[in-house]
Structures are given as C-alpha cells and as structure tokens.
C-alpha cells in the first residue's frame, strides 16, 4: 500500500491548490502571501467591519460586544504592535481555497510592504 502525505492526497483529489504554510497554520499571528492583500483599511474601518456580537451571548460575554468579538484581545494586540509607517490591509485567500474549504480572510498588519501579523476574520 502506498501512503500519501496529506498534501499529496489533497493535490491529487482537488487539483493543484497554491500552498502556504501560513494559510493552514491555525496561528493568527502567521503571515500570508502578499498576493492575498486586497486594500488598505483604517483602524476605524476595521472596527466597523467587525463590530462584535450583539446577540444574547453578550449577557455572558460582555467583551464580545467589542470590535472583533471574541477576538478583541487579539485585535488590541495587533493594534499595539503597530509602528509608525505600518498599515492595515484586508486580505482573502484565493477563490480555489474557499472552494476547497480552506479559505481565509481578515486583517493584515503590513510593515515595509510585507505582512507581518494577521487577524483572521473568516475561514471555512
């Protein structure tokens, strides 16, 4: 019996999908490929785009009503990591990753033109 690595198996079944360890790392502090960057976004715009939860869970988790909901502490840490000249950008993985149930989207901290930290806002 020939054993395939998970990556080889996925490639054989689903075709060639661009691979980035950052996309699958599960660690929100991982970086992403520059090609995933979409557009610059301000802190205020990001907080408006990810306003937090407004349902009954707020009674038990009041901090989840803050921007980025349950990930508010990570958002605050990302903002605290910003240095003069840094930018925030939205990002999304390629359409094939969403079709393959491995899509990622969110906010990236850009320093010197390169992503240095991300905060996932959506994944499938």
Distance CA 39, CA 75 (A): 18
Q: Is this model's pTM higher than 0.75 or not? A: no
Domain residues of the chain, as ranges?
Answer: 28-123
pLDDT of res. 75: 95
Nearest to 25 by CA among 122, 104, 108, 114: 104
Q: In the 3-class helix/strand/coil scheme, how is 72-86 assigned residue by residue?
A: HHHHHHHHHHCCCCC
Q: What is the pLDDT of residues 63-73, one digit of tens each?
A: 899 999 999 99
Q: What is the pLDDT of residues 46-56, one digit of tens each?
A: 999 998 999 99
DSSP states of 37-91:
EEEE--HHHHHHHS----STHHHH-GGGGSTTGGGHHHHHHHHHH--TT-EEEEE
């Amino acid at each position: 019996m020939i054993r395939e690595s998970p990556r080889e198996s996925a490639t054989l079944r689903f075709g060639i999908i661009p691979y980035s360890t950052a996309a699958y790392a599960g660690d929100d502090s991982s970086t992403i490929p520059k090609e995933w960057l979409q557009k610059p976004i301000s802190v205020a715009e990001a907080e408006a785009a990810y306003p937090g939860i407004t349902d009954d869970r707020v009674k038990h988790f009041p901090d989840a009503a803050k921007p980025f909901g349950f990930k508010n502490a990570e958002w605050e840490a990302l903002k605290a990591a910003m240095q003069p000249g840094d930018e925030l950008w939205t990002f999304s993985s390629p359409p094939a990753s969403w079709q393959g149930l491995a899509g990622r989207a969110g906010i990236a901290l850009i320093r010197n033109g390169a992503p240095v930290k991300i905060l996932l806002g959506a994944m499938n």
